[in-house]
Amino acid sequence: MKKFDKERVLLAVAGPVIALIAAVALTSVVLIASGKSPIEPYTLMFEQATYSDIQVLIINQAGMYYLAALAVAVGFRMNLFNIGVDGQYRLAAMTTAVVGAHVALPAPLQIPLLILVAMLTGAFWAGIAGILKTTRGVSEVVATIMLNAIATSVIGYMTLTENFGVPVGNNQTTGEMSKSGWFPGISMGDSGEIYGFVVIAALAGVLYWLILNRTRFGFDLRATGASESAAAASGVNAKRMVLSAMLISGAVAGLAGMPILLGDVHTYSLSFPTGLGFTGITIALLGRNNPVGIAFAALLIAFLDKASPALDYATPVAYDKEIAVIMQGLIVIAVVVSYEAVRRWGLRRQQQRVGEELAAAARGNGKGDGNGNNDTVKEVAAR
Amino acid sequence: MSSATVAKPLAKQPAPGRRRISLPVLLLVIAGVLVLTSVVRLITDADGITSTGQMSTALRLAVPIGLAGLGGLWAERAGVVNIGLEGMLILGTWFGAFAGYQWGPWVGILFGILGGALGGLLHAIVTVTFNVNHIVSGVALNILALGATRYLSTFAFEGKEGGTSKQSPPVESLGSFSVPGLSDWLQDLNEKHWFLISDLAGLLGGLFTNLSPLTVIAVAMVPLSWWVLWRTSFGLRLRSCGENPVAAESLGVNVYKYKYLAVVISGGLAGLGGAFLSLVGSNIYLEGQTGGRGYIGLAAMIFGNWMPGGLALGAGLFGYTDSLKLRGGGTNVHALLLLLAILLVIGAAYLVWRKRYVPAAITAAVSALMFAWYGLTDEVPNQVVTATPYVVTLLVLSLSAQRLRMPKANGKPYRKGQGT
């Protein structure tokens, strides 16, 4: 069995590597087609990544992406597509900001309170889609798309000046949060500060792995995701699993905005980052719903994000930073296609191997009686 | 065509154990809603809710949603879920404006269709040939279309007269026309504010006033799609790929070919919707112009139970609620609160008649809340207006999702020869 595992590891690594190479190659084609150097943007971006202040930015961004992607991955393991992570984290960040601005407890109480508020808000918003799916049979894809749009309106309404909004200059904020709710960061000297919440994100990854792979609940969840009817036959309540997966996904999504909210801006404003949820989908796909894979994927996408703005100001030739967005899209397509191709290739290898073993067994037993031959065939086929 | 006889029994067959709303009942319901709207208009004096202008705006806003929905219909009838409609719309807006400002709007339309079809082709390659999860592919396509158009804009539009990296130079208008005589007569009738007649005149007037040629083409696509999909052998084969590809294959249908065609046509229709946005809706390409209409189109299609007529109705509803936002939203939506409250009372009465007392009580309570909201306020905040179409979709879906029936093999992976 050891030999098999080695090949499985190889297959698991081959998927993303092939995808990345394909995406880079395709991006280079785009660059050549637009009459630009196909290599220089990459060297420029790698050069950016050697500066420590950019590194801090990348880690901070990756922390948020990581949480968003975990939220998407929880759904994926259950065969649920939570497109609503985007609305969930924005709504959660807004609510947390409002609570943080109006409640002032000592820090050991305030921070857990804020985290709880964020998780509950996210879970509530995702739970609507979960309940609609379990009780009314509404597809979670459509429901969460609608909820994203509704979240935007709700946020717009709540941040009106007559409600909780506080205009600052030409920006609309929710007022500064009480100091006790600020999450302490890890100072890196001149290079800036790493959000302390990044540690929580890493812990969430560990927890995700533990719950999914080491608990009965996680097993039920994965089983339901793999085959709902089979899980139901073994006594799993599929509807309850759908609802709990949705609630957990929403709760994790609620945390996605926290690193920047509690660690840096301390208020929800018009300039709060948007679209984390959609990037989270990319990252969860790229990382194959595996906590370590997602971490690498989050770092990669954060690198593309934070190293690309410098392209606009590069001398002597400037590049358009949009090339990084194209690359993200290409990566997703390349990733899903290459995973499928690698999976099929692995399947074929396995079939070939079984075929060879069957043939070898047939040769070996050629002189034996027919009965023994049949047994060997069955035994090998049973693998 | 001989296949019509083959198609008929399939189309007629109602889902077992479920009530199906027949056409007369549907027409009766629509007429009833119209009468109620008229009553509400007289009570509230919000003449805007059925004015010709309102209806005309609603039609203009409904067209891209309807085209996106039709795109979704074609793909899903062949068994491919198309959540990449948004990306195809984006490609349509960009290519439409790109060709439109250089070679005129008609070439722009053609390029818009081609741009969308290109997105459809990519989606087909990924989902049909590589058998990747359809939703994943669609999401990827949306990201890619956004990135590609942004990137291309900096080359194609920046530095041109009136163009920047976020918008294209203005495109020549396709022009618009009103049906002579009929349009003016209906408008006059509408302005008299008579009970029911003026409302009907407003509704019809909207269909005959200030039409763009592209609107006519787009509206014609609805019956055309129905005819092709339900009355030709081509359509029957295409739908069979969405219902049971293995059976279709066993009868000699080239499932891959039909799926490819369906998804490319789907992209073309969405591309046309995009071109409509950039050539008729406004006269430039603007980054973020689609504003999630692809997703709404998908919702309209589901709302319409994967049927062209239903999705047209859904698109009309979305277009109407959208138009409220543009034209005196606060007061008009406020007036519609009353309509909603009355509809809920009727719904509660119906539920009591069906002896389902708990849902009836909930409906009545919601209705009471609506009456209170209507009575205690004069206007609804703008955000409520913005959220209305989405809330309506969620409500409609949650009320009717169990009665909807999507193509049986929709979104399922299919490989050639998997049945053997």
Per-residue pLDDT tens listing for chain B (420 residues): 344 444 334 444 444 444 556 777 778 877 888 888 888 887 777 777 778 888 888 899 999 999 999 999 999 999 999 989 999 999 999 999 999 988 989 999 999 999 999 999 999 999 998 888 888 888 889 888 988 898 888 888 887 887 888 888 888 888 888 877 777 788 777 777 777 778 878 888 778 877 888 999 999 999 999 999 999 999 999 999 999 999 999 999 999 999 999 999 999 999 999 999 999 888 889 888 888 889 889 888 887 889 998 899 889 888 888 887 777 666 777 887 888 888 888 888 888 888 888 888 888 888 888 888 888 887 777 777 778 778 877 887 787 777 778 888 888 888 887 876
Distance from A199 to chain B by nearest Cα, in Å? 29
Q: Please indicate whether, in this complex, the C-beta atoms of A154 and B383 are within 8 angstroms of each other.
A: yes
Residue A200 neighbours by CB distance under 10 Å = 19
Which stretch of DSSP H or E encloses residue A172? strand A171-173
> Which residues in A lie closer than 8 A to residue B144 (C-beta atoms)?
326, 329-330, 332-333
User: In this prediction, does ipTM exceed 0.90?
Assistant: no
- Please give the distance of CA B152 from its chain centroid, rounded to a whole number: 28
- pLDDT at A122 (0 to 100): 96
Place of tokens 């996904």: A249
Q: Does B383 touch chain A (CB under 8 A)?
A: yes
> Which residues in A lie closer than 8 A to residue B416 (C-beta atoms)?
none
Nearest chain A residue to B141, by CA: A329
* CA neighbours closer than 13 Å in the CB half-sphere of residue B46: 22
Report phi then psi at B378, rounded to 5: -105, -20
Q: Which of B373, B374, B376, B351 is nearest to B362 (CA)?
A: B351
Q: Please indicate whether, in this complex, the C-beta atoms of A150 and B390 are within 8 angstroms of each other.
A: yes
Interface of A with B in 318-337 (CB under 8 A): 320, 322-323, 325-330, 332-333, 336-337
Cα distances (angstroms) measured from residue A233 to each of A133, A220, A223: 21, 12, 11
- pLDDT at B420 (0 to 100): 67
> Which residues in B lie closer than 8 A to residue A152 (C-beta atoms)?
386
> Which residues in A lie closer than 8 A to residue B155 (C-beta atoms)?
34
Interface of B with A in 302-341 (CB under 8 A): 302
The CA R_g of chain A, rounded to the nearest whole Å, is 25
- pLDDT at B359 (0 to 100): 80
Decide: A45 and A311 in contact? Cβ < 8 Å: yes
Q: Which of B154, B94, B157, B148 is nearest to A312 (CA)?
A: B154
Closest partner CB to B387 (pick from A153, A160, A285): A153
Closest partner CB to B390 (pick from A132, A149, A336): A149
- Three-state secondary-structure class, residue A166: strand
Mutate to test the interface with A, among B151, B392, B405, B416 (most CBs of A within 10 A): B151
- pLDDT at B8 (0 to 100): 39
The DSSP bridge partners found for residue A171 are A168
Q: Does A152 touch chain B (CB under 8 A)?
A: yes
Token readout for B119 is 């997105």
Q: Distance (Å, rounded) from C-alpha A119 to C-alpha B395?
A: 25
- pLDDT at B116 (0 to 100): 96
Q: Please indicate whether, in this complex, the C-beta atoms of A138 and B381 are within 8 angstroms of each other.
A: no
Q: Distance (Å, rounded) from C-alpha A346 to C-alpha A10?
A: 10
Helices and strands, counts by H and E, chain A: 15, 4
- Please give the distance of CA B84 from its chain centroid, rounded to a whole number: 15
Q: Please indicate whether, in this complex, the C-beta atoms of B132 and A337 are within 8 angstroms of each other.
A: yes
- pLDDT at A4 (0 to 100): 54
Residue pairs spanning A and B at CB distance below 8 A = 125
Residue A186 neighbours by CB distance under 10 Å = 13
Q: Write the CB contacts of A53 (distance below 8 Å, at least 6 apart in sequence).
A: A190, A191, A192
Token readout for B348 is 């509660």
Q: Distance (Å, rounded) from C-alpha B141 to C-alpha B123?
A: 7
Interface of B with A in 280-299 (CB under 8 A): 292, 295, 298-299
Interface of A with B in 271-300 (CB under 8 A): 278, 281-282, 285
Token readout for B206 is 């909207």
Decide: B356 and B285 in contact? Cβ < 8 Å: no
**A197-214 vs A291-307: helix crossing angle, rounded to 10:** 150
- pLDDT at A58 (0 to 100): 92
- pLDDT at B222 (0 to 100): 94
Interface of B with A in 155-194 (CB under 8 A): 155
Q: Is the pTM for the entire model greater than 0.95?
A: no
Helices assigned H by DSSP within B170-307: 182-191, 197-208, 213-231, 233-243, 245-250, 255-276, 293-303
Place of tokens 């519609």: B336
Q: Please indicate whether, in this complex, the C-beta atoms of A325 and B150 are within 8 angstroms of each other.
A: yes
Positive or negative torsion for Cα B305, B308, B311, B316: negative
Q: Please indicate whether, in this complex, the C-beta atoms of B398 and A152 are within 8 angstroms of each other.
A: no
Nearest chain A residue to B127, by CA: A337
Q: Does B145 touch chain A (CB under 8 A)?
A: yes
What is chain A's pLDDT, residue by residue, as a tens digit (383 residues)?
444 567 777 777 787 788 888 888 888 888 888 778 888 888 888 888 888 888 999 999 999 999 999 999 999 988 888 889 999 999 999 999 999 999 888 888 999 999 999 999 999 999 999 999 998 888 888 899 889 989 999 999 998 888 888 888 888 888 888 888 888 888 887 888 889 899 999 999 999 999 999 999 999 988 888 888 888 888 888 889 999 999 999 999 999 999 999 988 889 988 898 888 888 988 898 888 899 999 999 999 899 888 888 887 777 777 888 888 888 888 878 888 888 888 888 888 888 888 988 899 888 876 544 444 455 444 444 44
Nearest chain A residue to B394, by CA: A143
